[in-house]
Structure 1
Amino acid sequence: MKAVAVKAFGGPEGLSVVDLPAPEPGTGQVLIAVEAIGVGGVDALIRGGSLPGFREGLVLGSEVAGTVVAVGPDTDEDWVGQRVWGFTGLGGGYAEQAVASVEDVLPLPPGLSAAGSVTLGGSGVVAHFALAHARFRAGESVLVRGAGGSIGILTVQLAAAGGAAEIAVTTSSAARGALLRDVGATQVLDRSGAGAASAYDVIIDVVSGPDVPSFLEKLRPNGRMVAVGAVGGPLPDSLGTALMANFRRSLSFATFSADTVPPADRQAVRVAQFAAAAEGRLPVVVQAELPLDDAVLAHQQLQRGEVFGRIVLVP
């Protein structure tokens, strides 16, 4: 089968199309003939060598959708023939076939495309539980930093649906700002957050990096900031100093990973969000569907910050 592997850590040019044997599902696993693959920020971090524990030769990709064509030992054969979304772990998804555990697979409801499911499946869970982690309540103001990707867009949508009084976003252009207003943003800022008209109760940060302390200053007393991504780099050493300098304002900073959410809770949220998307109540934003052979191009666009929503690879 055709797959895309990391031949050399670094830039997008380190990705290469390779031919590999089709994987075999193990106990409790299904084999999926892949129709759509989500391209995400974690893929870029792994490809760039920023995350430890990975070796060259790894097939990228954690989120796929398609049709189950086989099951492993002690696995319900009723899965065969079902169109599903599946989480493959931190690898194995950029391929024509992929395996996933049945605990990480969901049937696609009628009306939800394969591309739509890989736009929503991982990012929607992060957005939902990040807002919960920040103890967001109706009537509060929210700032989404780095709102142009699928996590940011879904955070804007969910905050709007949850009754946010104001939703500010940081993004790279006026055109993106207009698109973000279409999904619920009420205030558009540049990447630095300059020009903020008010302070915020909650900040959901997809970017991280050296500018995090400056965004702490945009919180109201008792404000909460939650980092859900690190596309801008690691948190700076000055973060602790900034928190202590604002001691009397009782600010909170936290990181959040969906890995800390029980699998059953993640799946329950996905079921609800998939149904909402299928019914048109939660629009999904897919920027483009590219052939699997164009994985380098997809990662180049991701690296240049040109993606609004999700890029999807199609075998």
Structure 2
Amino acid sequence: MRAVTIRRFGDPNGMEVIETASPEAGAGEVVIRTEAIGVGGVDAVIRRGTLGGFEFREGLIPGSEVAGTISATGDGVDPSWIGRRVWAFTGTSGGYAEEALARVDDVVPLVEGLTPTQAVTLGSAAPVARFALAHAHAAAGESVLIRGAAGSIGIAAVELAAQNGASAIAVTTSSRERGDRLRELGATHVLDRSGDGDATAPALFDVIVDIVGGDDLPGFLDRLAPNGRLVLVGAVAGFPPADFGGHLLRAFQQSRSFSTFSLDTVPRQALRAARSELFTAAARGGLHAVVETLLPLDQAAEAHRLMDAGRVFGRIVLTP
């Protein structure tokens, strides 16, 4: 099969298309003939070699989510899965390939009306958005700021916050065009990347969902209302400075809080149920899978160049 490997961690030029052996399903696993492959921010962080706690090895095949048809099953897996179209989480690697391996516990059947492209656009992003808002105890009538809202997680968070009855939904993004598109999806205020640019936006927010991290995160802690909660779900700009907690301590009387959130902490059964529900909502038009572009598998490096340049609204999807 064809696959994309990382020969050298760093810029996208270190990625290469190779011919390699097809995967074989072990106990509890399935092989999926891919039809769509999601390109996510975590893939770029892995490619750069900057993901903490990750084992970097030459020849790694990146990619964590695919959709397609199950072609083989391993021991302990019901063979009736063969021939079914599914979405699957492949772990932190293995997705950028014509065939991918996944645990059957990380597979969700595609509902009628949902395309493989839609599935890999929403399969990881929408659950992150849903559980992050729940982690922040976001309630109807509260104000929400989504930092880095132009990606697939941010877009899903905007739509879900609107559906949950947020009183105001502000977003940070890099252009007026992106801001207009986010307004169409439910945003009520558009800010620039520094958190300014809209005089009508709330000065403080009850909930901030931060997908960016990096050196500017402390300034957003200062945008929390009393009892406000910031949840960090990504770090595409890197980790925040080591002393960022000082901003919380200096506003001790405001009872602000900071937390991180990862889908790794959600029980598999609850995660599968949430994905099925979100997929059904998307198939019925209640959630939008926004795709920047479809690219063939051999243009994976170009997909990463677009991400590095900040030119992606929604998600890039690779097709084998």
TM-fit CA distance, 1:195: 3.4
**C-alpha distance in 2, partners of 1:178/1:99?**
39
Aligned to 2:166: 164
1:242-274 per-residue CA deviation (whole Å, 9 max, x = no partner) reads 111110111000011110111111111001000
| Residue 135 in structure 1 maps to residue 140 in structure 2 | no
TM-fit CA distance, 1:65: 0.2
SS in 2 for 1:103: helix
Q: Which of 143, 151, 155 lines up with 1:149 in the alignment? A: 151
Aligned to 1:313: 318
TM-fit CA distance, 1:280: 1.1
Aligned to 2:80: 78
Aligned to 1:22: 22
Aligned to 1:121: 123
Q: How many residues align?
A: 315
Q: Which of 213, 227, 234 lines up with 1:229 in the alignment? A: 234
Q: Which amino acid aligns with 2:17?
A: V
Q: Which amino acid aligns with 2:136?
A: A
Q: Which of 277, 284, 289 lines up with 1:284 in the alignment? A: 289
TM-fit CA distance, 1:74: 2.1
**C-alpha distance in 2, partners of 1:106/1:91?**
18
Unmatched 5+ residue regions in structure 1?
none
Q: CA RMSD in A?
A: 0.8
Normalised by the length of structure 1, the TM-score is: 0.99
SS in 1 for 2:44: helix
Is contact 2:190-2:197 (8 Å) kept?
no
Q: Which amino acid aligns with 1:70?
A: A
SS in 2 for 1:243: helix
Q: Which of 64, 67, 70 lines up with 2:69 in the alignment? A: 67
Aligned 1:152-231 pairs, distance under 5 A: 152-195=154-197, 197-198=201-202, 199-231=204-236
Aligned to 1:41: 41
**C-alpha distance in 2, partners of 1:13/1:116?**
28
1:144-173 per-residue CA deviation (whole Å, 9 max, x = no partner) reads 000000000000000000000000000000
SS in 2 for 1:156: helix
TM-fit CA distance, 1:279: 1.0
Q: Which of 257, 263, 266 lines up with 1:261 in the alignment? A: 266
Runs of 4+ in 1 over 4 A off after TM superposition: none
Is contact 2:150-2:178 (8 Å) kept?
yes
Identical amino acids, percent of aligned pairs:
57
Is contact 2:4-2:17 (8 Å) kept?
yes
